[in-house]
């Protein structure tokens, strides 16, 4: 006679966390389109206020979608897009230490773009801002998914159980 063992609730955490990261990542991209299609009213104001403390939101550095300004500048919007893509794809499967180096490289690329832009070496470039932001966001989300969440999904069902191979 075999008895089914109940799976601990944390087993669902990786899936729930990935879905939340994707939703959060696409939210600033969807908001202006939704606002132009239908007035979001108080919900739109609330969502906009969530993003307000995260970003300077200078109009010259912010994309317009469907005639509406995004709630974040193009670099921050790139970070959010990278988070969504990184949570969705989460490849390659690397150790956290390897993702740390990728995160540092993406950070350095972003800082170089910020400095050269602010020194006037090149004008504001939305594609560069989105790309450097997306690289950083992707590294953060993919590292979290592959380094943390994958460990939870492979955790043994109980203390006495051995890990699955």
pLDDT at 71 over 90: yes
Q: What is the pLDDT of residue 160?
A: 46
Average pLDDT, stretch 85-105? 93
Query: Exposure string (b/e) for 122-144, b if CB count within 10 Å is 16 or more?
Result: eeeeeebbbbbbbbbbbbbbbbb
Q: pTM value?
A: 0.84
Q: Sorting pLDDT into bands at 50, 70 and 90, what band is 149? A: confident
CA distances from 111 to 17, 84, 90, 125 (A): 28, 22, 24, 14
Of the pLDDT bands very low, low, confident and very high (cuts 50, 70, 90), residue 4 is: low
Domain parsing of the chain, residue ranges: 13-153
Residue 29: pLDDT over 70 = yes
Q: How far apart are CA 3 and CA 5, in angstroms?
A: 6
Assign 3-class secondary structure to 70-131: CCCCHHHHHHHHHHHHHHHHCCCCCCHHHHHHHHHHHHHHHHHHHHHHHCCCCCCCHHHHHH
**Partner residues linked to 69 by β-bridges:** 64
On the 0-12 / 13-18 / 19+ scale of CB atoms within 10 A, 163 is: exposed
Residue 124, CB-side half-sphere exposure with 13 Å CA sphere: 10
Structure tokens at 51: 């993003």
Q: What phi, psi does 68 have (nearest 5°)?
A: -120, 140
Q: What is the mean pLDDT of residues 46-52?
A: 92
Position 162 pLDDT exceeds 50: no
């Amino acid at each position: 006679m075999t008895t089914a063992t109940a799976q601990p609730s944390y087993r669902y955490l990786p899936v729930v966390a990935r879905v939340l990261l994707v939703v959060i990542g696409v939210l600033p991209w969807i908001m202006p389109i939704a606002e132009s299609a239908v007035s979001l009213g108080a919900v739109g104001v609330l969502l906009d206020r969530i993003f307000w403390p995260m970003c300077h939101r200078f109009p010259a550095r912010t994309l317009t979608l469907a005639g509406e300004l995004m709630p974040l500048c193009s670099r921050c919007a790139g970070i959010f897009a990278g988070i969504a893509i990184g949570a969705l794809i989460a490849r390659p499967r690397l150790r956290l230490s390897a993702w740390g180096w990728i995160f540092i490289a993406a950070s350095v690329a972003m800082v170089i773009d910020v400095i050269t832009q602010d020194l006037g070496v090149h004008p504001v470039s939305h594609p560069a801002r989105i790309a450097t932001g997306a690289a950083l966001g992707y590294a953060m989300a993919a590292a979290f998914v592959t380094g943390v969440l994958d460990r939870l999904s492979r955790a043994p069902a109980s203390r006495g159980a051995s890990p699955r191979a």
